[in-house]
Amino acid sequence: MKIDVLTLFPGMFAGPLDESIIKRARDAGLLELQLHQLRDWTHDRHKTVDDRPFGGGPGMLLKPEPIFEAVESLRREKTRVVLMSPSGRKFNQSIARELAQQEHLLLVTGHYEGFDERIREALADDELSIGDYVLTNGALPAMVVIDAVTRLLPGVLGDDTSSSEESFSAGGPGLEYPQYTRPAEFRGMKVPEVLVSGNHAEIAKWRAEQARLRTKEKRPDLV
């Protein structure tokens, strides 16, 4: 998969995208990731990317000219252009799986008071938000999307069943069952006996029930 990111703050991405699973995916050639400075598509000496909104109001809006030029320069035949914006549909695991099927994602990160509406109307294939709160800009949401999508790419996790058994993945939008590792007893707390019984049918049954109970208790909105 190829992911391009159009941003005013490429330096914000340096740490998160150069570590852990994303780094391994890039090193293995499973993910091609490039950051692009939006100001590179401006033509004035101040590299202006924003202006005051027509009709008045607070703040500044991202201008259409540099974003149109950038997207038209980076877009390919099968590119999905995604705006990171508080007004987008709320990102979740289902959308992550949907995006992981794409060949090329172009993430456009917002800043200031948002985008000139013509950018949404003419360029965007999708618009995503990571939650009902406001951040300084769209860099962090873009990193969240990149991380969630990358780990779903075939071969990235080594064992592809790992991502299918996690919270929000196994059999629906619920939470994952409790998990334990060695030692079997720690400070008087024991691992449930069913997990050390070797009875895989009973283990599967226990895990399904525990996932249901955990979801009901901690995230009843998902039930």
**Scanning the structure block, which residue is given the tokens 């299918």?**
164
How far, in Å, CA of 115 to CA of 134, rounded?
Answer: 15
What residues does each domain of the chain span?
A: 2-150, 167-222
* pLDDT for the residue 162: 58
- Superfamily designation of domain 167-222: tRNA(m1g37)methyltransferase, domain 2 (1.10.1270.20)
CATH 3.40.1280.10: does it fit domain 2-150? yes
The type of residue at 179 is Q
Q: What is the largest CA-CA distance in the chain?
A: 71
- Sorted by sequence, the CB contacts under 8 Å of residue 190 that are 6+ apart come out as 184
Residue 179 gets the label, from left (phi > 0), alpha (psi -120 to 50) or beta, of beta
How far, in Å, CA of 105 to CA of 75, rounded?
Answer: 9
Mean pLDDT by 10 residues, the chain (223 residues): 97 93 96 98 97 93 97 97 94 97 97 92 96 93 98 87 57 83 95 96 96 94 87
